[in-house]
Amino acid sequence: MSISRATLEALDRDDRLAAFRDEFDLPPGVIYLDGNSLGALPKATRGRLARAVDQEWGRGLIRSWNDAGWIDLPQRLGAQISGLIGAQEDEVVVADSTSVNIFKLAAAAVRMRPGRRVILSEPGNFPTDLYMIQGLSDLLGGAVELRTVERDRIAEALGPDVALLLLTQVHYKTGALHDMAALTARAHAAGALTLWDLSHSAGALDVDLNGAGADFAIGCGYKYLNGGPGAPAFLFVARRHQDQAVQPLSGWMGHAAPFDFVDSYRPAAGIRRHLCGTPSILGMTALAEGVSILTRAAMQDIRAKSQRMGDIFITLVEQMCDQAGFALISPRDAGQRGSHVSLSHPDGYAIMQALIARGVIGDFRAPDALRFGFTPLYLGYADLWDAVSHLAAIMATGEYRQDRFQIRAAVT
Ligand SMILES: *Cc1c(COP(=O)(O)O)cnc(C)c1O
């Protein structure tokens, strides 16, 4: 059954999330399919940042740490994010980058499982997740070992030597979704803890950390949370672990009494011990705007629209580009998929450059994946029709073979 643009226009007219599109500042003529990599700019962010710079910083100066509530912003923003990921308000804090938070929480977790030396993950996990564990392992002189096993073998690999299972809930390349509840239960049965990377989940899926019994999680502020380039990241520590979990980057902002200025480190109670240094206030202020939009939308509506968009996109590619040589590398079943769809093609890089030149922005992941992200708050169904029409035209004319589309940029 083929899909027409009129069908998609009708879906847009019925879309409960349609009004959110006006809250984002998108350039005219652009179809943005990369909100999974860098979320769009919320219109309110510009004014909010101007106020933070002009009033809070410019006029308030150092007084704003108290008067503008800067000092508590990591916890306040963490509490806001907690509602998006099935956590309690005091289980989430905003700090550092996702990479740094992986290091902090993986180290905290292995300290809680003495006698077990393995951190289990999967090959092809997002590189920084694996690299940070390699760095931790080197630092500890091999007392911790990174072991990777293919995703269908993870359950059986959870043996008595495993301290921590580190997985990304939605795979950055394929979009494949892990069963967080089932794998967490399996890890617990084996005596291991879990650390879930929610970089491609938070703001896109109805994540339920406490429903799944998760121990630790981290996630990214600049993807579906629309916090802006290099936005601070968040981390989650289940309440039941908060007294035992001690992270190694023992900076003064995680101290029980930072303004006592004593010489020896004593971790704060609760989630605040997972801070390290002075919070990035302008970054967190921008992130708070992005998050506040999401807290006004129903996550079930976002998930339902995202799944439907993925299904429609796949059908449209098959309908309009059936001879073009694309292979679907994402799960076809929307229940097994996050909020992006990836296609492989040997000329993937050049094809994506040709699409971007036409204003359809996705991205490319080596060696051959074209990635298309669906952000239900600012993308309409008819946009999918227009995007795939451009793709079909590029393939039919061979436009992507032009020299200008072959040159690799630093960021793909
Ligand atoms: C985007 C992403 C990151 C990003 O880490 P940074 O420290 O922000 O660079 C980490 N893990 C996964 C799975 C990601 O998708």
Q: How many A from CA of 220 to the centre of ligand 1?
A: 6
What are the pLDDT digits (tens) for 217-269?
Answer: 999 999 999 999 999 999 999 999 999 999 999 999 999 999 999 999 999 99
User: Distances from the Cα of 318 to the Cαs of 10, 323, 365, 386, 388, in angstroms?
Assistant: 21, 9, 21, 15, 10
Q: How many A from CA of 106 to the centre of ligand 1?
A: 15
Nearest CA to ligand 1 atom 15: 199
Q: Are 272 and 93 in contact (CB under 8 A)?
A: yes
- How far from each other are the two terminal CA atoms of the chain, in whole angstroms? 35
Q: How many A from CA of 105 to the centre of ligand 1?
A: 15
What are the pLDDT digits (tens) for 325-345?
Answer: 999 999 999 999 999 999 999
> Which entry of 21, 116, 223, 337 is annotated as an active-site residue?
223
**What pLDDT, on the 0 to 100 scale, is given for residue 412?**
86
Whether 151 is catalytic is no
Q: What is the mean pLDDT of residues 23-39?
A: 97
The amino acid that residue 287 corresponds to is L
For the chain, give the mean pLDDT.
97
Q: Are 234 and 221 in contact (CB under 8 A)?
A: yes
C-beta neighbour count of 113 within 10 angstroms: 17
**What pLDDT, on the 0 to 100 scale, is given for residue 101?**
98
Kindly tell me the sign of the dihedral angle through the C-alpha atoms of 240, 118, 209, 203: positive
What are the pLDDT digits (tens) for 73-127?
Answer: 999 999 999 999 999 999 999 999 999 999 999 999 999 999 999 999 999 999 9
C-beta neighbour count of 236 within 10 angstroms: 31
Answer whether residue 317 shows pLDDT above 90.
yes
**What pLDDT, on the 0 to 100 scale, is given for residue 136?**
98
Burial label, 225 (beta-carbon count in 10 A; 0-12, 13-18, 19+): buried
Q: How many A from CA of 60 to the centre of ligand 1?
A: 34
Return the best residue to mutate from 172, 195, 340 for the ligand 1 pocket (most ligand atoms within 8 A of CB). 172
Q: What is the mean pLDDT of residues 21-30?
A: 97
Whether 197 is catalytic is yes
Using only the alpha carbons of the chain, give its radius of gyration.
Answer: 22
Closest CA to 154 of 186, 129, 127, 201: 186
Q: Are 26 and 40 in contact (CB under 8 A)?
A: yes
Q: Which residues pair with 25 in a beta bridge?
A: 41
168 CA closest ligand 1 atom index: 13
Q: Cα separation of 156 and 207, whole Å?
A: 25
**What pLDDT, on the 0 to 100 scale, is given for residue 289?**
98
Label the pairing between strands 360-361 and 31-32.
parallel
DSSP for 101-116, please give it: HHHHHHHHHHHTSTT-
Q: Which residues pair with 86 in a beta bridge?
A: none
| CA angle, 209 then 74 then 231, to 5° | 85
Answer whether residue 182 shows pLDDT above 80.
yes
C-beta neighbour count of 239 within 10 angstroms: 13
The SS3 call for residue 147 is strand
Q: Are 165 and 158 in contact (CB under 8 A)?
A: yes
pLDDT band at 142; cut points 50, 70, 90: confident
Whether 224 is catalytic is no
Instruction: Name, in order, each residue with C-beta under 8 angstroms of 262's C-beta and a sequence gap of 6 or more.
Output: none
Answer whether residue 1 shows pLDDT above 90.
no
pLDDT band at 386; cut points 50, 70, 90: very high
Q: Does residue 346 have a cis peptide bond before it, meaning omega lies within 30 degrees of 0?
A: no
Return the best residue to mutate from 101, 121, 199 for the ligand 1 pocket (most ligand atoms within 8 A of CB). 199
C-beta neighbour count of 357 within 10 angstroms: 15
